[in-house]
Amino acid sequence: MVRATFLHFPFFPLWAIMENGYWQPRIGDPTLMGWVTVIAYLVTAFLCANRSLKTQRDRWFWMTLSAILLLLGINKQLDLQSWLTLIGKQMAIEQGWYRERRQFQFDFILGLIAVSFAGLMFLIQGMGKSWKRFMLALLGLIFLLSFIVIRATSFHHVDVLLGREFSGFRLNWLFELGGISCIAIAAIKN
């Protein structure tokens, strides 16, 4: 039986790892590229926060992006999506629908796509004509969040594909750092 370890916020370290089916407080991705990605998140969060200070009318947009990137950078080493996946697996086993989990994962992804699309449409409508100025940042955010959601649903064949290497680079590095880079470029250019 898989047991998810629940954390009590102020008393847990700011890193984690999966070990023997349990979420353990340790560094989640101690590799060089793991730390490069964390630094990319944090630098891009800083760039977005800096951009928010330079513009009154777009401040909320850049501060929101900064907060999202800061949280994602921290999560890169906390590995909370693995913790949530364990909780989901534990629930599925206990409730007896673990064998049908693929359908749930598929429905979950479709639901997230629908909610994300609705949120994007709401955001674009609220921004009026100015949304075009944020196109690169929005595309980067969509790309990044889509990658994270797909990884969190833990489809084995998707994980295998994302772990493949091309010219020394793993696809998951390119996807994650690609989304972060789009946002960073938008923060610098806007």
Distances (CA, A) of 135 to 18, 39, 124, 183: 36, 24, 10, 10
Q: What is the pLDDT, as a whole number, of residue 170?
A: 74
184: its two tokens:
């960073």
Ranges of the chain with pLDDT below 70:
1-28, 152-166
Burial of 55 (0-12, 13-18, 19+ CB in 10 A): exposed
Q: What is the pLDDT, as a whole number, of residue 41?
A: 97
136-184 pLDDT, tens digit per residue, is: 999 999 888 878 777 766 655 566 666 666 677 777 888 899 999 999 9
Instruction: Please list, in sequence order, all residues whose beta carbon lies within 8 angstroms of the beta carbon of residue 116, skipping any fewer than 6 positions away.
Output: 142, 145, 146
- The DSSP bridge pattern shows strands 22-24 and 165-166 to be unpaired
Q: What is the pLDDT, as a whole number, of residue 8?
A: 38
